[in-house]
Chains A and B, each alone.
Chain A
Amino acid sequence: MNFKSAVITFPGSNCDRDALTYLKDLTQGEVLNIWHEESSLPNVDLVILPGGFSFGDYLRSGAMASKSKIIKDVISHANDGRYLLGICNGFQILTEIGLLKGALIQNKSIKFLGKDCYIKKKFNNKFNCNIQNNEVLRIPVAHNEGNFYCDQETLNYLHDEELIAFEYCSGEYSLDDANINGSLDNIAGITNKNKNVLGMMPHPERAYQDFHLSNHGKKIIESILS
């Protein structure tokens, strides 16, 4: 199989290199790094919008990045049914583009959270199909605006259409609430209606190598490739 993927870099992205390594190691295919000012995105199977602080988080996290030149092609990529994964700031960018519902607002604690968290799968999709129900994944988070918010009607829609991919839960080493940031219904990641676009706050690319505290982040790419 010749799986092709790409990582978009914005000014202020800081997880793009990790995402590139993650894709190279786990897909064994060609991985492109695309600068946000490029006018076209080559045909690839998966695009990652990486974590970081695109445009310094000015105005709102992800707001300026969502208007970058490359985004027009990112939207076409998603509309063609190919895979698009937004991690952390990438999730914020996807909600600002409007490919995903809701918004990510400041953590309830007003603290930047940089630590491991625990998540489990809520509804099945192509990004988590290799993960068992009730299997707890240990994956790091690093965010200031990870508190998922939407109105009640949208929240009902996310449940009814089974678009919630991951929810925070308690785990072996957790000392505090399962819901680390105040997200509605413990939401850690959602998909679009076609389930080919996933946004998630935890960083799977920081949990796959032998020296990481867990390798549970592998399961997302393994699911996509399965």
Chain B
Amino acid sequence: MRFKILIRLKSQILEPQGKVIEQSLKSLGFEEFSNIRQGKLIEIDLPDSLNERERLEKIDAACKKLLVNEIIEEYEVLG
């Protein structure tokens, strides 16, 4: 089964790339676009032999150990 992990900078931290993307979009005529923030998407395959709880536990452990720096980032796991 394939899982997606969305990682974003915490909302209180300035995300400068989003700001630049926003300026660029505005210059292309997308004036109503605002508060753009760029994050990361990680996709992972896990074997079907693991049950749902085991899979989520493994993903959670991997996020805490390597994939996410919880000082600056937060994450969300999508099935």
**Quick one: given A105-B9, A106-B16, A108-B16, are A59 and B71 in contact (CB under 8 Å)?**
no
B17 touches A108 (CB 8 A): no
B17 touches A105 (CB 8 A): no
Q: How far is the CA of A57 from the CA of B77 in the complex (A)?
A: 23
Q: How far is the CA of A96 from the CA of B69 in the complex (A)?
A: 8
Interface residues of A: mostly helix, strand, loop or mixed? Answer: loop
B13 touches A149 (CB 8 A): yes
Chain B contacts for A151, CB-based, 8 A: 71
Number of interface residues of A (CB under 8 A): 19
Residue B46 is within 8 A (CB to CB) of chain A in the complex: no
A binding-site residues for B, Cβ under 8 Å: 59-60, 63-64, 67, 95-96, 102-103, 105-110, 149-151, 182
B binding-site residues for A, Cβ under 8 Å: 9, 13-14, 16-17, 20, 65-67, 69, 71-72
Can you name 14 A-B pairs with beta carbons within 8 Å? A59-B67, A63-B66, A63-B69, A103-B72, A105-B13, A106-B17, A107-B16, A108-B14, A108-B16, A110-B17, A110-B20, A149-B13, A149-B72, A182-B14
